[in-house]
């Protein structure tokens, strides 16, 4: 019974812990990555111009040191695409994005990072920028021409606080004076450590580009489950790469899959071990009860009556062990969920997020019943097949 109990406990605890963490991550990801992300996939290996004019199948043509075309990452007619997508009833919000690498400097401290040129109000509609802000005021991005919102980790490394002036330098060598108007913390460590928001206009200036230059369009849908099909649709409609959020995080989902598999195997082995435990106990019991079985058979109990008795017995073990396991698993989850910890990994969390999905509880209980029934089946069958003559004779 203890075996079943612990099996169920571990099942619930592990499943709750793992999926809790995963759901937390997915939640964060859904809120911080676009459901559909449209961008211009840079093809570095562009077919060289010569191949357009000369048949290269019968000739060797070598072009050395071909450079990627400038503006390759640009999404042309971005404004038009955005207003077009805006009309789609499935879309909750759409925002332009201009990403670039840059260096932040505050006095002597200097950090490299990525800058996100955004329309802050649209961005907020998509990614809840305001909710994630731990200091400052989102609206000052609109009112100040040179506002910047720093990721929490970045701000810390720079030693920057609200209203500090920092210098941002782009790869084009353009530098701008910016004023810190906010600090945001998404919980996704990589973003918080490198990312800053600036206005679209400033981003374009840093890249010495005109006012229509953007590199990405982010879309948030009313129904996140439509991401994949909408992405496919946009990709064919606009001719740019459109990626849904799951594809964008494919590597993480791969890790999840491996985690889930590992835990499944752990749980299965626990249940198998506890199943063998029950099997052993019942085997011992039926040998102890051999005289009882013999007399019951002599007085006219059928084989199936006997096996029923032992099946019911093992089922009782399964039910009680299962119920206690459910309770213990729930308590363990609750307690662990209250232990404060600060983990900086993929995502940063203060407490372990535990999933209390009732489905786990049902599944764990079902597994307990199945494993005890299977474990009880063979002893029960054995008990039914005892020959009463042999038992009574040997007394």
Partner 1 sequence: MNHTMISAQHVTKRFTEPVEFVVLDDVSIDVQKGEFVVLVGPSGSGKTTLMYTLSTLDTEYDGDIEIDNTTIRSLSKNQLATFRNTMIGFVFQFHYLLPDFTVLENVMLPAQRLGIWSEEEMEHRAMEKLALLGVADQASKKSNKLSGGQQQRVAIARALVNEPKILFGDEPTGNLDTKNTDIVLDILQDLKTEFNQTILMVTHDTAFARRADRIISIRDGRIVE
What does the binding site for partner 1 look like in residue numbers (CB under 8 A)? 291-292, 294-303, 305, 388-389, 392-393, 395
Report the C-alpha gap between 346 and 193 in whole angstroms. 12
- State how far the Cα of 230 lies from the Cα of 314, in Å rounded to an integer: 52
Largest interatomic CA distance in the chain:
103
Beta carbon of residue 357, minimum distance to partner 1 (angstroms, whole number): 41
At closest approach, how far in Å is the CB of 375 from partner 1? 23
Q: Can you give 263-327 as a three-state secondary structure string?
A: HHHHHHHHHHHHHHHHHHHHHHHHHHCHHHHHHHHHCCCCHHHHHHHHHHHHHHHHHHHHHHHHH
Dist. CA 366–CA 351, nearest whole Å: 30
User: What is the distance between the alpha carbons of residues 233 and 75, in angstroms, rounded to a whole number?
Assistant: 17
Q: What is the secondary structure of 162-182 as a DSSP string?
A: TT-EEEEEETTS-EEEEEEEE
- In the numeric block, the tokens 């102890």 are attached to 288
- The DSSP secondary-structure symbol of 137 reads -
Least distance from partner 1 to the Cβ atom of residue 312, Å: 15
> Looking at beta carbons only, is 174 or 392 nearer to partner 1?
392
Query: Given the complex with partner 1, which of 228 and 303 has the nearer CB atom?
Result: 303
Neighbours of 29 (CB within 10 A): 19
Q: How far is the CB of 394 from partner 1 (least distance, A)?
A: 11
Q: How far is the CB of 300 from partner 1 (least distance, A)?
A: 2
Whichever of 110 and 308 has its CB closer to partner 1, that residue is 308
Q: How far is the CB of 289 from partner 1 (least distance, A)?
A: 9
Q: In this complex, which beta carbon is closest to partner 1, that of residue 84 or of residue 303?
A: 303
| Minimum CB distance to partner 1 smaller for 159 or for 291 | 291
Nearer to partner 1, 42 or 316 (CB): 316
- Contacts for 37 with CB less than 8 Å, ≥ 6 apart: 216, 217, 218, 219, 231, 242, 243, 244, 245, 248
Of 118, 125, 121, 116, nearest to 91 by C-alpha is 125
Closer residue to partner 1 (CB): 219 or 309: 309
| Smaller CB separation from partner 1, 54 or 298 | 298
Q: Which is nearer to partner 1, 296 or 315 (CB)?
A: 296
To partner 1, the closest distance from the beta carbon of 297 in angstroms equals 7
Shortest Cβ 368–partner 1 spacing (Å): 26
Question: In whole angstroms, how close is the CB of 290 to partner 1 at the nearest point?
Answer: 11
Q: What is the dihedral of CA 271, 277, 283, 287, to 10 degrees?
A: -160
Is the CB of 89 or the CB of 300 nearer to partner 1?
300
| E-state strands within 108-193 | 109-118, 133-136, 147-151, 165-170, 175-184
How far apart (Å, rounded) are the C-alpha atoms in residues 227 and 221? 7
Judge contact between 123 and 95, C-beta under 8 A.
Answer: yes
CB of 316 to partner 1, least distance (A): 15
């Amino acid at each position: 019974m203890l075996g079943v109990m612990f099996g169920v406990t571990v099942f619930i605890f592990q499943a709750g812990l793992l999926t809790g963490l995963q759901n937390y991550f997915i939640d964060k990801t859904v809120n911080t990555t676009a459901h559909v992300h449209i961008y211009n996939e840079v093809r570095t290996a562009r077919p060289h111009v010569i191949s357009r004019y000369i048949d290269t199948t019968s000739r060797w043509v070598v072009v050395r040191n071909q450079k990627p075309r400038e503006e390759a990452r640009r999404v042309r007619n971005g404004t038009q695409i955005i207003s077009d997508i805006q009309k789609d009833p499935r879309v909750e919000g759409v925002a332009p994005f201009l990403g670039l690498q840059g260096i932040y400097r505050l006095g002597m401290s200097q950090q490299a990072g990525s800058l996100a040129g955004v329309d802050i109000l649209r961005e907020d509609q998509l990614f809840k920028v305001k909710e994630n802000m731990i200091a400052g005021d989102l609206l000052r991005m609109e009112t100040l021409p040179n506002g910047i919102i720093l990721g929490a980790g970045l701000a810390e490394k720079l030693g920057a606080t609200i209203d500090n002036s920092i210098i941002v330098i782009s790869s084009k060598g353009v530098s701008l004076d910016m004023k810190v108007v906010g600090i945001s913390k998404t919980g996704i460590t990589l973003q918080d450590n490198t990312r800053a928001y600036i206005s679209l206009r400033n981003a374009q200036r840093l890249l010495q580009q005109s006012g229509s230059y953007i590199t990405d369009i982010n879309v948030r849908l009313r129904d996140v489950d439509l991401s994949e099909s909408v992405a496919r649709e946009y990709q064919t409609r606009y001719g740019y790469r459109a990626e849904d959020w799951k594809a964008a995080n494919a590597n993480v989902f791969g890790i999840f899959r491996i985690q889930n598999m590992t835990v499944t195997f752990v749980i299965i082995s626990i249940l198998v071990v506890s199943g063998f435990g029950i099997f052993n106990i019942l085997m011992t019991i039926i040998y102890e009860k051999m005289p009882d079985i013999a007399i019951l058979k002599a007085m006219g109990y059928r084989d199936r009556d006997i096996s029923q008795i032992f099946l019911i017995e093992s089922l009782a073990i399964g039910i009680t062990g299962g119920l206690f396991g459910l309770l213990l698993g729930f308590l363990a989850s609750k307690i662990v969920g209250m232990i404060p910890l600060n983990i900086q990994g993929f995502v940063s969390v203060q407490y372990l997020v535990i999933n209390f999905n009732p489905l786990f509880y049902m599944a764990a209980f079902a597994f307990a019943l199945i494993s005890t029934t299977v474990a009880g089946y063979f002893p029960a069958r054995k008990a039914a097949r005892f020959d009463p003559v042999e038992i009574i004779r040997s007394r």
